[in-house]
Chain A
Amino acid sequence: MTDALALQPQARVRTDPNHLGHHARAGEGHAKATGRGTGGPSSKRIIVGYGFWIFLLSDIVMFAAFFSAYAVLQTGTAGGPTGAELFDLQNVALETGFLLISSFVCGVAGLALAAKRHLIFQAGMALTFLFGAAFLLLEAREFLDLVDRGAGPTRSAFLSAFFTLVGCHGLHVSAGLLWLLTMMAQVATKGIRPEILRRVLCFSLFWHALDIVWVAVFTVVYLMGSIA
């Protein structure tokens, strides 16, 4: 009796009468595709990248909340200046250009790191920093200018929402710049290790995501605000 059972080890495994789809069947467990999760835990690089994506999605939800507040408060100008009166689209175009270039250079730096070209990596990251910092400088100048003109965030709900939404993006860029410098220092001192590669991957995901958020910002806030 024991032999019979040994020959059919699956005999007592409860087979699923409602099996759907083409996923692993009873006894499989050998599927190679980790995408379906039946090959065991994914590699560390995938796990880190995936987890960071989930974090980025949550960050985008936070931006979505600020966007929705902006949308609601857009008309709450309280007799003060509206977007159309305040927005300098040339400045915005310059900011956008800088951010896009910094994203491009960041991509180059990432490729350089993968190809183990340290100098190009550091140069690329330095340029990313410069363009990112330039973006921030332009934005800071815009904010200070608005405050000078009496259109600071305490003037009206619309301006509160504007400063918070655009400012939140700017804060993320600032944090990114700090992270960037840290990554440059890490690669310089420790060289290319798996965990450092993963961190640079996360950083570039972050930086590109900020770019995507900026596209939404300048569309919803500046372009649509100027038309209204």
Chain B
Amino acid sequence: MLLFPSSYRVSQSSVLATTGLIIVRSDGIFVMVKFYQLKIYLGIRAASLSVGVGILLGGCQPSILDSKGPIGAAENNILLIASIIMLAIIVPTMIATVVFAWWYRESNSKARYRPDWAFSGRIELVVWSVPFLTILFLGGIAWISAHELDPAVPIPSDKKTLQVQVVSLDWKWLFIYPEQRVASVNQLVVPANTPVQFHLTSSSVWNSFFVPGLGSMIYTMRGMVTRLNLLADREGDHFGLSTHFSGDGFSDMNFTLKSVSSEAFDAWVASARGLSATLDKAAYGELAKQSIADKPRTFSGIDPELFQQIVDQTVPPGPGPHQSSDGASQGVRPKGGS
């Protein structure tokens, strides 16, 4: 089952000459659904679904349905298929409920009252098998996609994969580029069309790394490394956030993923190397204290062992809140006002 193309190129959809349900999306992409078998031919330009949700395009507006990467696009297709199938079951049910309630209301003398009709083998057979077959089909999709789109599965590409190490701190994100020997806080710069492999951990409490415009999220947990693979297929800015509640500063734990051309990426790395402070253990210790750092900044001179030390817990964990008398965490005031 092909859920996303093995070579990431634009391919025009070709319609299989088989029977089945053809769904045409507003942007003209054909999705063929053949019962028991699913083949999806993707086009890159997955424009917004006009289903009346009013999603804004462009800029930094996050949107899952308007994904700018193959992982997200594949996940959207699964969402779409599953939604259509479930709607096909629940909409008739909802209509039938209203119709039955209306037709068989007490004041309707035309309706036939059947007070002893309480069983029908045929209906039971249908009623058990329709949900069961649906679930069988969706279960198949779930099983296969859980393997193909597992966050740890690398994205095939002819470009070299960029390695990024992610550490979630209270309440900011640290992105370490081990091969480029730079690091960045709250700003993730990646070259477009290049697969990025993330290794993620946390300095203290759990968080969850998520860029809605690109695809899957994954937890970050101290003492453990989780893996994620994403790809941004074009240049642009993306909104990133944490999706696992991590304390009082949680709402400010946003970052920007900037997808740029490879030249711009190289230029950024060079400037980070040149002008930035070093990220050694002491600097990391300062960073790990509870704060809401809203200014993206960069570091150079990364200790190559730093990430592993964070994972192995040979650097101290992010300290907890400094308790003031009223129980409020010190130094945590939300952005956007006093």
Chain A residues in contact with chain B, CB under 8 A? 14, 17-18
Task: Tell me the complex Cα distance, A14–B116, Å.
Answer: 8
B35: Cβ under 8 A from any A Cβ: no
A16 and chain B: residue at smallest CB distance = B119
Kindly state the separation between the CA atoms of A18 and B119 in the bound complex, as whole angstroms.
9
What's the Cα separation between A17 and B119 when bound, in Å?
9
Interface flags for B110-137 (1: CB within 8 Å of A; 0: not) read 0000001011000000000000000000
When distances are taken between beta carbons in the complex, the residues of chain A under 8 Å from B116 are 14
Please name the residue on chain B nearest to A18 by beta carbon.
B119
| A–B Cβ pairs within 8 angstroms, 4 of them | A14-B116, A14-B118, A17-B119, A18-B119
- Give the distance to chain B from A77, nearest Cβ to Cβ, in Å: 15
Number of chain B residues close to chain A: CB under 8 A: 3
A17 CA / B120 CA spacing, docked (Å): 11
Give Cα distance in the complex from A17 to B118, angstroms: 10
Closest to A14 in B: B116
A18: chain B residues at CB < 8 Å are 119
Query: Which chain B residues lie closer than 8 Å to A17 at the CB level?
Result: 119
Q: Closest Cβ of chain B: how far from A56's Cβ, in Å?
A: 36
How near does chain B come to A194, taking the closest CB pair, in angstroms?
A: 44
Q: How far is the CA of A61 from the CA of B118 in the complex (A)?
A: 39
**Chain B residues within 8 Å of A14, by CB:** 116, 118
Which residues of A lie under 8 Å from residue B118 when comparing CB positions?
14
| Min CB–CB distance A53 → chain B (angstroms) | 34
**Could you tell me the distance in whole angstroms from the C-beta of A188 to the nearest C-beta in chain B?**
53
* Complexed CA–CA distance, A14 and B117 (Å): 10
Which A residues lie within 8 Å of B119 (CB)? 17-18
CA A219 – CA B228 in complex, angstroms? 41
> How far in angstroms is the closest Cβ of chain B from A20?
13
Chain A's closest residue to B116 (CB) is A14
Instruction: Across the interface, name the chain B residue whose C-beta is closest to A17.
Output: B119
Least CB distance, A103 to chain B, in whole angstroms: 43
Bound CA–CA A28/B119 (angstroms):
23
